[in-house]
Structure 1
């Protein structure tokens, strides 16, 4: 797994594969004004749930990192939960989709959709 932007950052980082997938999805949307927003919201069976979505908004206190040409935005409340987290994209016969390796997660549910 290759992680771009080795400088210390707040919020999450993308691997090269995840950045390529985000670029591909943005091209499919036909928009270059969107950023990948990563947030942590209450919910799920372990207490907190990840949210990844495209966003055109800029909120006060946002942490913005540009990784391989992709703007990754994290709101100020979510940034501490995601500091040091790495987002990858898996495309295998067993799994397809974005995965999050978060060193701040003490535990996660069996489906991997939420954490504590």
Structure 2
């Protein structure tokens, strides 16, 4: 699986899974945490020696609620029930706005929620 683990809030994110050669074509499904993603891209490339490579992309906008969520790509081939799984943990960084430093003192707790 390829894709950036560290992203900024509201950034468009893309992860890609590429399978090994198989015949018939492998299928791929994506999850963010336990939620299955329905908006994915799948392309199949025929190989010179026979068989297919499946390339699947999962695209979404990073939100603060996705911080530390696990991105999962599961691939399988219908004749073989065992699924191959790849995972990545997503780190979403919040964007901080500008503010005047004169408004912060040592007696205040400063929190920067997303």
Is TM more than 0.5 here? no
Larger relative helix fraction: 1
- Bigger Cα Rg: 2
TM-score (norm 2): 0.25
